[in-house]
Structure 1
Amino acid sequence: MQNFEKRRDRYNAFASFENPLVNLSFELEVPDFRPYCKQRGLPSFHFFLYHVLHAVKGIDNYLYRIYKGEVIKIEDFWASYTVLNRDDNLNFARFVMTDDLNEFVARSVASAKEAEASTKLINTAESLSEYDQRRNIFITCMPWLKLSAIEHPIYEHKSYDIPSLAWGRYSAPRADGKLSMTMAVQAHHGFIDGYHVHLLAEAIGQRIAQTLAS
């Protein structure tokens, strides 16, 4: 929490706002990982999700939460995201994070299949303790749309502390070997500035590049 104490005054300032959220949409450029995934039989969404969540985990500002009126730093979080079930309705996939790429993808695929097969809404926060509810990152992907911006539903703005990430359709193959998409990051401004969104974008690209080079 030493890093948080350096910005506690910023947190206190934004925490007094009725709506302390910052929401940024930007074009994310990363190395095109689709050929790599195709060669190895890895679903591209789950590969990308792995790098997004591990990039988040490496930046303290995305791990601060408000718990029982105090700011804490969580050590880990669930891997979770939205899916469509067989009725074309929203559902939630959730599983335990792992550093191993292949195991992460296997768990992610299995969790998605479970959520897709369920007509009931599953993996909601209701089944979790108050602390475990804080151990989350909200992820939404809309591959049908060229996303430009998004506003997430918020139960109560002042107590909102879990970052929400969303992205849309990938670009077509590019001559420069890059892949682009619009990504949106929404978070408590007491924890996250535009600079930290920049750090996340850089970390995602660097992680993917390292994997492709290995």
Structure 2
Amino acid sequence: MVFLKHARAEVDQLKKEVKRLRALEVHNTKELESYRAAVDAHTELGDRLENRVKLAEETSDRLAQQIKREQEVFKASVASSTAQSRRLHQLLSRMDATDDSATVRYRRRIEDLEERVKRLVRANKTLRSRVKLEEMDPDVLVLVVEGLSTGELDWGLLDISERTRVLLKGLLRTADPAQTDDSLANDLARAAFMETDPLEESTPEARAADARKTT
């Protein structure tokens, strides 16, 4: 009888232990699921950060290529300007040596200067085309670069829509203070390029002509 009582007590004790172990198993299972969820979240965050790093590297490479192209254009412009100045100096020297007529000298000088202006206009068109290939508005780029350097930025000098002007002012106002002037100018020029429609890209004379055609 005493043995049976002792055995029952032992069985009850074992049942309690089994119940405790099952509760512990449930708790550990929940903890494991929580850890797995945390690991998945960290993995997803790591993937997003890796994608951002790749995007930043691609942007950096693209900007480096852009800078290289702009440096090549600048070097070509400097070389062209130097050659034109040399030819102008030689021309003036020859005019002084062969003709003392002030009228003739001035006329030839004006003709040479006009030719130089034409060449500079062609170089400017080439530079503007390269800037547009980078999906940037050249007029906005020039205005912002000069405005940030002088501290005086007059949006009224741009022939853009009021919507684009409001957008650019907002981007300038909310820009990161740590951002460089060149980077900010590029961002604003790209934003203006994305906002520009075919009507805005046409000249005022062309828009007036189109308006007359529709009336």
Name the TM-score, length of structure 2 as normaliser. 0.23
Tell which has more relative contact order, 1 or 2 (C-alpha 8 A, sep 6+). Answer: 1
Structure (1/2) with the larger helix percentage: 2
Structure (1/2) with the larger strand percentage: 1
